[in-house]
A and B are shown apart, each in its own frame.
Chain A
């Protein structure tokens, strides 16, 4: 019986999917030679000034709309000061006093039922550079410096590691589908800090909280939460007090450690950024963005259920990636067999797509066509597989099938004749089958398929073979 309950709040940073950085026109492309994508502005050189990237604002609004936030028509920028080598100006331009979005929520479903996790605020800010440790020295790469971020702060409504992961998955999904961010934790375009406290069940106030940083996968977030919960309970049970501090999670040991720098109660000397004007949004602008927003996962899931009868694990798989979902919709739009489309997509095409984002050289319409051919039993599965490997280069499966005579043979008399021939030619297998080795039928089916150049309808062959074999053994 747990005496202590867990309270978790999550701070998620997502890199905005803009072509250029938030305050200058340098490219945001990932990787590249160190310090090849910088300019006086993002390098914080003397005399350089920030200019706000309008697209970054739009994406922040979309993020707010996708999480049911109130979009603030007035928001403003502040300077947050601290000294660290990856921060060239020694201050970060962020939104402290007046964030662009407030008071949203995300619904999560799981063993706990259905729960709303509140979102306190979403604000815009710039990223810092990256420190690269090489033996005794540390290099600083400013390519990432100035990339636009949104910080999404949740209410301390999360009560377990499972809820935390569900929240992160739901958030990631919304941001992906709204086109706000690529959300790749491994690449660092999605980062999560955990704020955690415990309290005795029944207690009203929240306990002292600690912050855990350096978590770059959902799995680590869950592990860190469980670890820190256990640690805090242990401390309290032993009569100690929790120090308000920032801790680092080490995936190797699975434990949290106090960070070397003292991050407690830092005074960032916030004040309004004098180089930028306050951000004013017109109601019309916000509405236009809402109208242009891509359909979000929840709405799509409902539609898939309604229109295609697709739900559960299949829907989950499709909705993991907007590119995949969009591809599916395009293919299914022209097909009478959406469930077959899903099958083909998830088993065949997904396997062939390399990299984190889905892509396929096969046109969606051709996939839809292939699904129809299968659904109408005009081709069999082996043929479908063979066609798939050729569709990227040769296009329409129906055209290929027609050209090369790959249509499925559904004519019973033809198949019956083939079966008779195979049985006649292979008495050994027949005897083996009749002798009780039911596996022998497989070999016989194989022969029929070979005889028909792989075009026979396998279901029919199975039935007809069964009938023929039972006739040989009247009992």
Chain B
């Protein structure tokens, strides 16, 4: 998309579309051009359907001209992570297991954005599970940052998406657990994950979250958000607000952000966070257990192209051995272990107890502050496979909203990322603080 159009932001684009100065077809064409230019380098999309998207754009333009009532964010081109269902399109979860699977239905979030122009499905780590210690794959973030799409939706069970977004210079909000329906999200860790908006700036993020959040009858864990409106506080500045910061985290590159907050008139105080290594271990256990369970349904029975086998047992073993990657297999085995009769108490039950304690402590601390400023990724060399989630796992464990932002986008190398954690349904507050920081870092 041309730099000009990109810099407009969602609100301005919607206004231009409404006034007739801009058409959805133009916008979509601009995205498609950007995709053509950038995809060879980025490889962000797994599925693209140029023809269908242009048809859809034309249809929306016609309906808009007729004065028909359109859904929120109508006519804007978007990307969707490939673990979220969009009827008629493949949903592969970047896995051979679902290599030829076509979504038979739309996820709730896709329903709510039914008048957007869905450009295609973007790349993720297999089922959203990181298989190596390298950077997480999140095609959606790359697509948004490069101007291939105006915004995207992705899921976050452990912080990979928060980290991906910031690495690309994009904004991601992992919402309060239950704020956004999980119906249509291929489940990896049911009690940890949420779908959230990936955008180029904070304002856009709030607009998108507004459109997708809300109680859904089809998701028993979804809740009616108690935040009133998401955007109004943006731009009001943060004078007098209280932001907490863990003493241990200063070395993790938070000093510039802390400094910026103070300059803007907020109070920044040091607190002692709960033992995050402990929380991470608990997260590891719970994620594994839930992944084991959620992925059990992929076993070759209801499958067009099964692994050849002589018996039922062999079918199960071969199909899963051949179609799952190593990282996924590792998780499944770990999950089975922590739920086994022998180890359940030692691992799973203890992990849940730790989770309860962590949640209680964080809520208590958040009672005294508007937000907690945290790093996204530990800078120190990672020991063990999953240390990268050290700072992001707690928000998933406690079901708290977490906004990730990139600072210092102009410099060489990857941008520094930070995270703002809030109380349940404190998204408006996080957006307010994030917007203020964004302004300063421009």
Chains A and B bind each other: yes
Which residues from chain A contact B183 at a C-beta distance below 8 Å?
A: 47-49
Q: What is the CA–CA distance of A140 and B300 in the complex, to the nearest angstrom?
A: 13
Q: How many residues belonging to B are interface residues under a CB distance threshold of 8 Å?
A: 40
Contact B220 A50 (CB under 8 A): yes
B380 part of interface (Cβ distance < 8 Å):
no
B293 part of interface (Cβ distance < 8 Å):
yes
Contact B217 A51 (CB under 8 A): yes
A308 part of interface (Cβ distance < 8 Å):
no
Contact B297 A90 (CB under 8 A): yes
| Interface pick from B184-192, B230-238, B360-368, B382-390 | B184-192
The A-contacting residues of B in range 221-236, CB under 8 angstroms, are 221
Which residues from chain A contact B190 at a C-beta distance below 8 Å?
A: 274-275
Give 1 or 0 for each of A104-144: 1 = CB within 8 Å of chain B CB.
00000000000000000000000000000000000010000
B410 part of interface (Cβ distance < 8 Å):
no
Contact B219 A46 (CB under 8 A): no
Contact B293 A46 (CB under 8 A): no
Q: What is the CA–CA distance of A89 and B190 in the complex, to the nearest angstrom?
A: 14
Contact B336 A269 (CB under 8 A): yes
B340 part of interface (Cβ distance < 8 Å):
yes
Which residues from chain B contact A46 at a C-beta distance below 8 Å?
A: 85, 91, 93, 98, 101, 186-187, 297-298
Contact B217 A83 (CB under 8 A): no
The one of B91, B101, B290, B296 in contact with A274, judged by C-beta atoms closer than 8 angstroms, is B290
A-B contact pairs, 13 of them (CB 8 A): A46-B93, A46-B101, A47-B85, A47-B105, A49-B220, A49-B221, A83-B316, A85-B312, A89-B297, A140-B301, A269-B340, A274-B190, A275-B221
B425 part of interface (Cβ distance < 8 Å):
no
Taking A46-B85, A47-B184, A275-B190 as known contacts, 7 extra A-B pairs with beta carbons closer than 8 A to each other, sorted by chain A number, are A47-B84, A47-B105, A49-B221, A51-B219, A83-B296, A89-B296, A271-B289
Interface residues of B (CB under 8 A from A): 84-85, 91, 93, 98, 101, 104-105, 107, 182-187, 190-191, 217-221, 289-290, 292-293, 296-299, 301-302, 312, 316, 336, 339-341, 344, 348
A450 shortest CB reach to chain B, Å: 72
Q: What is the CA–CA distance of A367 and B217 in the complex, to the nearest angstrom?
A: 48
Q: What is the CA–CA distance of A46 and B104 in the complex, to the nearest angstrom?
A: 10
Contact B348 A271 (CB under 8 A): yes
Contact B191 A274 (CB under 8 A): yes
Contact A274 B221 (CB under 8 A): yes
A382 part of interface (Cβ distance < 8 Å):
no
Contact B299 A91 (CB under 8 A): no
Contact A44 B220 (CB under 8 A): no
Which residues from chain A contact B84 at a C-beta distance below 8 Å?
A: 47
Known interface pairs A51-B217, A269-B340; A79-B104 also in contact (CB < 8 Å): no
The one of B93, B220, B336 in contact with A277, judged by C-beta atoms closer than 8 angstroms, is B220
Which residues from chain B contact A276 at a C-beta distance below 8 Å?
A: 220-221
Which residues from chain B contact A50 at a C-beta distance below 8 Å?
A: 220
Give 1 or 0 for each of A264-288: 1 = CB within 8 Å of chain B CB.
0001011100111100000000000
3 nearest A-B residue pairs (beta carbon): A90-B296, A274-B190, A274-B191
Q: Which of B91, B93, B301, B340 has the most CB of A within 10 A?
A: B301
Q: What is the CA–CA distance of A269 and B340 in the complex, to the nearest angstrom?
A: 5
Q: What is the CA–CA distance of A236 and B91 in the complex, to the nearest angstrom?
A: 58
Q: How many residues belonging to A are interface residues under a CB distance threshold of 8 Å?
A: 28
B324 shortest CB reach to chain A, Å: 14
A40 part of interface (Cβ distance < 8 Å):
yes
The one of A47, A140, A274 in contact with B107, judged by C-beta atoms closer than 8 angstroms, is A47
A267 shortest CB reach to chain B, Å: 5
A144 shortest CB reach to chain B, Å: 16
Task: Report how many A-B pairs have Cβ atoms within 8 Å.
Answer: 86
Q: What is the CA–CA distance of A48 and B216 in the complex, to the nearest angstrom?
A: 13
Contact A269 B339 (CB under 8 A): yes
B50 shortest CB reach to chain A, Å: 26
Q: Which of B186, B289, B293, B341 has the most CB of A within 10 A?
A: B293
Q: Which of A45, A48, A269, A276 has the most CB of B within 10 A?
A: A269
Which residues from chain B contact A271 at a C-beta distance below 8 Å?
A: 289, 293, 339, 344, 348
Which residues from chain A contact B293 at a C-beta distance below 8 Å?
A: 79, 81, 91, 269, 271
B303 shortest CB reach to chain A, Å: 11
Known interface pairs A88-B302, A274-B290, A275-B190; A52-B220 also in contact (CB < 8 Å): yes
Give 1 or 0 for each of A70-86: 1 = CB within 8 Å of chain B CB.
00000000010101010
A465 part of interface (Cβ distance < 8 Å):
no
Contact A90 B299 (CB under 8 A): yes
Q: What is the CA–CA distance of A53 and B237 in the complex, to the nearest angstrom?
A: 47
Interface residues of A (CB under 8 A from B): 40, 43-52, 79, 81, 83, 85, 88-91, 140, 267, 269-271, 274-277
A415 shortest CB reach to chain B, Å: 75
Contact B221 A277 (CB under 8 A): yes
Look across to chain B and name the residue whose beta carbon is closest to the beta carbon of A41.
B218
Q: What is the CA–CA distance of A275 and B296 in the complex, to the nearest angstrom?
A: 15
Q: Which of B182, B183, B185, B336 has the most CB of A within 10 A?
A: B183
Which residues from chain B contact A88 at a C-beta distance below 8 Å?
A: 297, 301-302
Which residues from chain A contact B220 at a C-beta distance below 8 Å?
A: 49-52, 275-277
Q: What is the CA–CA distance of A83 and B295 in the complex, to the nearest angstrom?
A: 12
Q: What is the CA–CA distance of A90 and B332 in the complex, to the nearest angstrom?
A: 13
Look across to chain B and name the residue whose beta carbon is closest to the beta carbon of A46.
B186
Q: What is the CA–CA distance of A52 and B299 in the complex, to the nearest angstrom?
A: 26
Q: What is the CA–CA distance of A50 and B85 in the complex, to the nearest angstrom?
A: 16
Contact A81 B296 (CB under 8 A): yes
Q: What is the CA–CA distance of A89 and B105 in the complex, to the nearest angstrom?
A: 18
Look across to chain A and name the residue whose beta carbon is closest to the beta carbon of B103.
A47
B45 shortest CB reach to chain A, Å: 20
Q: What is the CA–CA distance of A49 and B293 in the complex, to the nearest angstrom?
A: 14
Q: What is the CA–CA distance of A88 and B300 in the complex, to the nearest angstrom?
A: 10
Which residues from chain B contact A44 at a C-beta distance below 8 Å?
A: 297
Which residues from chain B contact A51 at a C-beta distance below 8 Å?
A: 217-220
Q: What is the CA–CA distance of A49 and B220 in the complex, to the nearest angstrom?
A: 8
Look across to chain A and name the residue whose beta carbon is closest to the beta carbon of B289.
A271
Contact B104 A40 (CB under 8 A): yes
Which residues from chain A contact B219 at a C-beta distance below 8 Å?
A: 49, 51, 275
Q: What is the CA–CA distance of A382 and B401 in the complex, to the nearest angstrom?
A: 82
Contact B292 A83 (CB under 8 A): no
Q: What is the CA–CA distance of A270 and B289 in the complex, to the nearest angstrom?
A: 10
B171 shortest CB reach to chain A, Å: 25
Which residues from chain A contact B344 at a C-beta distance below 8 Å?
A: 271
Q: Which of A51, A89, A274 has the most CB of B within 10 A?
A: A274
Q: What is the CA–CA distance of A46 and B190 in the complex, to the nearest angstrom?
A: 12
Which residues from chain A contact B104 at a C-beta distance below 8 Å?
A: 40, 45
Look across to chain B and name the residue whose beta carbon is closest to the beta carbon of A270.
B339
Q: What is the CA–CA distance of A140 and B312 in the complex, to the nearest angstrom?
A: 14
Q: What is the CA–CA distance of A91 and B312 in the complex, to the nearest angstrom?
A: 17
Contact B191 A43 (CB under 8 A): no
Look across to chain A and name the residue whose beta carbon is closest to the beta carbon of B312.
A85
A259 shortest CB reach to chain B, Å: 14
Which residues from chain B contact A89 at a C-beta distance below 8 Å?
A: 296-297
Q: What is the CA–CA distance of A174 and B196 in the complex, to the nearest angstrom?
A: 50
Which residues from chain A contact B187 at a C-beta distance below 8 Å?
A: 46-47, 275
Which residues from chain B contact A43 at a C-beta distance below 8 Å?
A: 302
Known interface pairs A47-B186, A51-B218; A85-B341 also in contact (CB < 8 Å): no
Contact B348 A91 (CB under 8 A): no
B421 shortest CB reach to chain A, Å: 22
Q: What is the CA–CA distance of A81 and B338 in the complex, to the nearest angstrom?
A: 14
Q: What is the CA–CA distance of A187 and B297 in the complex, to the nearest angstrom?
A: 28
